């Protein structure tokens, strides 16, 4: 009778635990979805620019007025340059997204669509609007004074203002969305690889050799995934003019930063550590700056995105593809820290003894079944 009572209690407890776990999963899923939805809509529904860096070439007498027009709404952050050539050099170094030269007879706008179509569009719209307002004011003043102007001057005033795209996007990527898709592919592939590798590692004793093998496999995968991405880019004519070896190195570092940091998180926190990789794919790719420029994101997303493997990776790839004069050292340092720290965690956790017979903490269903079979055979013998 006592055994029957115990047998009845255990299923009841199992059902209760299952219900609690299912409820917790549902609640967490709803909260995550709510937070991501609110954040995504906050970014994309009405994206507001914040201090977009632009350059200005102007006479000293007009500098204050023009700079005030650019900064009055907080959209732009203005840097002064002596000549239009200096401004173009700064654009090619990606110090600024564009700028305006008002030293000539007509204002001249310089943009870089490859730095971000949204910034280029904002500059074009603002520049055209200001020029049109100034032209209308000048024509109104002349009309009120009763002055007559030559037809050629009137045509010049009404002609579209000159705009130069210093670093345009390739013809095959007119919307500039390729980098976002490439980042998503690397993030998703790296996360799946890290989780799959953890599931497939046999339950052997931990040692430094095992740790080196784990990190080596991550490195080999990183190079392989980078080569696959680089190869697929060639199908669509993306990055055909870039240095292939440099691109391979950058893509490999991005992949290793994602896989190693995810693997390190799994080694520390178990299966829950895989959420790091999921965050790279869901949140990291959105705030990476690939599709939405950092200056168009809320402050939290702007700073977080720049310090994630996806954000640093996108900026390094963009600069290598379109802005070879830009300094990408900072982005490479961020990627190297993620890759290095993740690899160190994997090495250390593989060298430290486990609480259970110094074996891997990864519990494989296959291993359980094999162990169960061995025990049953031993009992029969």
**Is the model's pLDDT at 34 over the cut of 50?**
yes
pLDDT computed for residue 294 by the predictor: 84
Q: Quick one: average pLDDT of 319-345?
A: 93
Q: Which of 49-53, 202-206, 298-302, 306-310 has the lowest mean pLDDT?
A: 202-206
pLDDT in tens, 36-60: 676 666 665 556 788 899 999 999 8
Q: Give yes or no for a contact between 109 and 164, defined as CB atoms under 8 angstroms apart.
A: yes
Q: Tokens 């030293």 appear where?
A: 103
Q: With bands split at pLDDT 50, 70 and 90, how would you rate the model's confidence at 8?
A: low
Tokens of 291: 């599709």
H or E element, residue 110? strand 108-111
Tell me the pTM: 0.76
Closest CA relative to residue 334, chosen from 250, 241, 217? 250
**Is the model's pLDDT at 2 over the cut of 60?**
no
pLDDT in tens, 171-181: 767 666 677 77
H or E element, residue 20? helix 2-44
pLDDT computed for residue 355 by the predictor: 43
**Is the model's pLDDT at 28 over the cut of 60?**
yes
Q: Quick one: average pLDDT of 55-84?
A: 88
Instruction: Give the bridge partners for 54, in sequence order.
Output: 78
Q: Which of 54-68, 97-111, 249-263, 268-282 has the lowest mean pLDDT?
A: 268-282
Q: With bands split at pLDDT 50, 70 and 90, how would you rate the model's confidence at 206?
A: low
**Is the model's pLDDT at 11 over the cut of 70?**
no
pLDDT computed for residue 374 by the predictor: 47
Q: Tokens 């959209």 appear where?
A: 75
**Is the model's pLDDT at 364 over the cut of 50?**
no
Spatial neighbors of 55 by CB under 8 A, at least 6 apart, are 78, 79, 80, 81, 87, 90, 91, 95, 96, 98, 99, 100, 110
283 vs 299: CA distance, rounded Å: 15
Q: Tokens 């990789």 appear where?
A: 277
Q: Which of 48-62, 258-272, 318-332 has the lowest mean pLDDT?
A: 258-272
pLDDT computed for residue 48 by the predictor: 76
SS3 363: coil
SS3 69: helix
- What is the side-by-side order of every strand in the sheet holding 108-111? 76-80, 52-57, 98-101, 108-111, 163-165
pLDDT computed for residue 56 by the predictor: 93
pLDDT computed for residue 101 by the predictor: 93
Q: Which of 135-149, 151-165, 240-254, 357-371 has the lowest mean pLDDT?
A: 357-371
Of the chain, the end-to-end C-alpha distance in Å amounts to: 32
**Is the model's pLDDT at 278 over the cut of 90?**
no
């Amino acid at each position: 009778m006592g055994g029957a009572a115990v047998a009845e209690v255990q299923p009841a407890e199992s059902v209760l635990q299952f219900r609690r776990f299912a409820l917790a999963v549902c609640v967490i899923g709803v909260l995550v979805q709510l937070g991501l939805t609110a954040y995504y809509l906050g970014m994309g529904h009405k994206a507001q620019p914040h201090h977009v860096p632009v350059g200005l070439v102007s006479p000293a007498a007009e500098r204050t007025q023009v700079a005030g027009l650019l900064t009055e709404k907080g959209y732009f952050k203005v840097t002064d340059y002596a000549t239009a050539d200096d401004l173009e050099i700064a654009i090619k170094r990606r110090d600024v997204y564009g700028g305006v030269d008002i030293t000539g007879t007509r204002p001249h706008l310089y943009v870089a669509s490859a730095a971000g179509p949204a910034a280029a569009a904002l500059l074009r719209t603002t520049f055209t609007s200001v020029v049109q307002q100034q032209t209308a004011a000048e024509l109104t003043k002349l009309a009120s004074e009763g002055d007559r102007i030559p037809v050629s001057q009137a045509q010049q005033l009404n002609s579209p203002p000159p705009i130069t795209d210093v670093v345009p996007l390739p013809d095959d990527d007119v919307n500039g969305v390729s980098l976002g898709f490439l980042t998503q592919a690397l993030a998703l592939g790296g996360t799946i690889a890290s989780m799959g590798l953890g599931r497939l590692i046999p339950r052997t004793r931990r040692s430094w050799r095992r740790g080196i093998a784990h990190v080596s496999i991550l490195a080999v995968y990183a190079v392989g995934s980078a080569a696959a991405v680089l190869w697929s880019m060639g199908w669509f004519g993306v990055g055909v003019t870039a240095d292939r070896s440099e691109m391979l190195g950058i893509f490999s570092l991005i992949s290793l930063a994602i896989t190693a940091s995810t693997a390190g998180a799994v080694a520390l926190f178990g299966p829950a550590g895989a959420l790091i990789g999921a965050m790279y794919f869901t949140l990291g790719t959105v705030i990476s700056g690939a599709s939405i420029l950092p200056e168009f994101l809320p402050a939290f997303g702007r700073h977080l995105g720049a310090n994630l493997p996806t954000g640093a990776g996108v900026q390094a790839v963009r600069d290598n593809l379109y802005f070879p004069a830009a300094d990408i050292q900072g982005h490479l340092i961020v990627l190297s820290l993620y890759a290095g720290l993740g690899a160190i965690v994997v090495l250390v956790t593989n060298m430290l003894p486990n609480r259970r017979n110094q074996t891997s903490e990864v519990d494989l269903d296959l291993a359980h079944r094999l162990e169960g079979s061995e025990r049953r055979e031993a009992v029969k013998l």
